[in-house]
């Protein structure tokens, strides 16, 4: 269904219709449930959107090489990360302001994650407080008679270290199991103006940096905004302040990845921030093999950027990823059908992943290797 952009957005569906069979179906339907400016904000990339396109254009280049008549008995898609079982190599990426898509926002997302045994990375810029999200995950898991899913906290460094430390301590106290330090988005284009009722709930009471003037004729470099961008010394400081695993999100160079691991990073998330920060970056799939080579298997490598199907996930795993993060599709599913939509989207991804594994002759994720792919360049 396509609506005119002047129409009022449709409310979320209360039942999942039979024609929603893939994440692409959710993406096609989502505009009818969102204000036009919100839809544009969710979908847009930076500049001429070269990176945004690259994130999707890389997948058709990679073809599969299946193994015939493999023994699939006892197969499963589960993995372990930092001592925790994940039902599949799949997590919810950190996304800001999920109440833009649905009134329940992150609460709907984390309940879906709990229902599908899927880990979630909660953004510093979540529109629900990190404590409420964790409490909702545990409460819903208890209702279902299962353990709460792994929750990680994505940290944007704040202008003052005391405020970054406060966020870190809150995440530790709420039971988050890892910290994801995002390093590539301190300097990026401004987002849309937030509608009433949508706020950065975790930052209430904290001063926020705003570049309102250009002192001394500076445009960006030489201003407080650029001066506060993450530096290597910030990683060293954070490593001293927490015993939780630290993952660095936003690495694209092998030499930087190796340095981060040497300095105590416990994992890396290969990412170009969904094509939203620097136009012209390669897709994460194009660089993950370099990062895998330079880090020599010392830490898990996760990846995001353009993943929309189970076969996309398999391709990342074959190139060296330990797990895949799903970003924009969260907003599509939330807009269309809230928590049930999110749970259904996760179920579709896992079903597609396991079907692809079976066709390739891989009974477990560990059997998904580089030899399963042909690069058609």
pLDDT at residue 1 in the model: 47
Strands (E), 115-193: 119-122, 151-155, 179-182
Distance CA 269, CA 323 (A): 9
Distance CA 320, CA 300 (A): 9
Residues in contact with 327: Cβ distance below 8 Å, sequence separation at least 6, in sequence order = 93, 95, 274, 304, 305, 307
pLDDT in tens, 29-62: 999 999 999 999 999 988 899 989 999 999 999 9
Q: Is residue 324 part of a domain?
A: yes
Which residue is listed with tokens 């002047």? 6
Distance CA 256, CA 159 (A): 23
- Of 86, 102, 273, 332, the catalytic one is 273
pLDDT at residue 211 in the model: 47
pLDDT at residue 229 in the model: 77
Q: Is residue 192 part of a domain?
A: no
Q: Is residue 112 part of a domain?
A: yes
Which residue positions in the chain have pLDDT lower than 70? 1-6, 185-190, 208-217, 219-220, 222-227
Residue 338 sits in a domain of what CATH number?
3.20.20.70
Q: Is residue 193 part of a domain?
A: no
360 within 8 A of 318, measured Cβ to Cβ:
no
The widest CA-to-CA distance across the chain, in whole angstroms, is 70
Residue 74 lies in domain:
23-187+230-375
pLDDT at residue 5 in the model: 47
List the one residue out of 67, 63, 56, 65 whose CA is nearest residue 375: 63
Residues in contact with 350: Cβ distance below 8 Å, sequence separation at least 6, in sequence order = 77, 87, 88, 90, 116, 310
325 within 8 A of 302, measured Cβ to Cβ:
yes
pLDDT at residue 189 in the model: 62
Task: Label the pairing between strands 179-182 and 246-251.
Answer: parallel
CA-CA distances (angstroms) from residue 268 to 90, 198, 288?
Answer: 15, 30, 10
pLDDT at residue 33 in the model: 98
pLDDT at residue 254 in the model: 85
The pTM of the full predicted model, rounded to 2 decimals, is 0.94
Tokens of 316: 């990342």
Which residue is listed with tokens 């009974």? 363
pLDDT in tens, 186-240: 656 667 889 999 999 999 988 765 544 555 667 667 666 666 778 899 999 999 9
Q: Is residue 197 part of a domain?
A: no
Q: Is residue 92 part of a domain?
A: yes
pLDDT at residue 186 in the model: 63
Distance CA 357, CA 67 (A): 10
User: Packing angle between helix 328-360 and helix 310-318, nearest 10 degrees?
Assistant: 70
Q: Specify the number of domains making up the chain.
A: 1
Distance CA 22, CA 89 (A): 18
User: Is 273 considered catalytic here?
Assistant: yes
Q: Is residue 370 part of a domain?
A: yes
341 within 8 A of 34, measured Cβ to Cβ:
no
Eight-state DSSP code of residue 85: E
373 within 8 A of 67, measured Cβ to Cβ:
no
pLDDT at residue 215 in the model: 57
Q: Is residue 208 part of a domain?
A: no
């Amino acid at each position: 269904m396509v609506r005119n952009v002047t129409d009022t957005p449709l409310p979320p569906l209360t039942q999942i219709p039979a024609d929603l069979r893939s994440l692409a179906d959710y993406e096609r339907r989502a505009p009818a449930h969102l204000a036009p400016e919100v839809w544009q904000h969710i979908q847009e990339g930076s500049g001429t959107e070269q990176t945004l396109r690259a994130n999707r254009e890389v997948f058709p280049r990679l073809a599969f090489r299946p193994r015939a008549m493999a023994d699939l008995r006892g197969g499963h898609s589960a993995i372990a990360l930092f001592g925790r079982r994940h039902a599949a190599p799949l997590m919810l990426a950190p996304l800001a302001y999920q109440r833009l898509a649905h009134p329940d926002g992150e609460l709907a997302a984390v309940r879906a994650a709990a229902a599908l045994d899927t880990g979630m990375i909660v953004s510093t810029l979540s529109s629900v407080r990190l404590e409420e999200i964790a409490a909702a995950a545990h409460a819903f898991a208890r209702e279902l008679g299962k353990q709460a899913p792994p929750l990680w906290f994505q940290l944007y460094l704040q202008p003052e270290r005391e405020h970054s430390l406060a966020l870190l301590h809150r995440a530790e106290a709420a039971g988050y199991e890892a910290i994801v330090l995002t390093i590539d988005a301190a300097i990026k284009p401004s987002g849309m103006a937030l509608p009433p009722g949508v706020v950065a709930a975790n930052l209430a009471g904290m001063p926020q940096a705003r570049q309102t003037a250009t002192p001394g004729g500076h445009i960006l470099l030489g201003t407080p905004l650029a001066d506060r961008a993450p530096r290597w010394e910030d990683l060293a400081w954070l490593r001293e302040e927490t015993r939780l695993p630290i993952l660095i999100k936003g690495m694209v160079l092998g030499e930087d990845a190796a340095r981060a691991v040497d300095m105590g990073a416990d994992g890396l998330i290969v990412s170009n921030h969904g094509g939203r920060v620097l136009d012209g970056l390669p897709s994460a799939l194009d660089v993950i093999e370099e990062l895998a080579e330079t880090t020599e298997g010392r830490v898990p490598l996760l990846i995001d950027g353009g993943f929309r199907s189970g076969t996309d996930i398999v391709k990342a795993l074959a190139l060296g990823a330990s797990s895949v993060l799903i970003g924009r599709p969260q907003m599509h599913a939330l807009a269309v059908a809230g928590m049930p939509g999110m749970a259904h989207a996760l179920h579709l991804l896992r079903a597609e992943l396991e079907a692809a594994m079976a066709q390739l002759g891989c009974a477990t994720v560990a059997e998904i290797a580089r030899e399963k792919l042909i690069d058609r360049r």
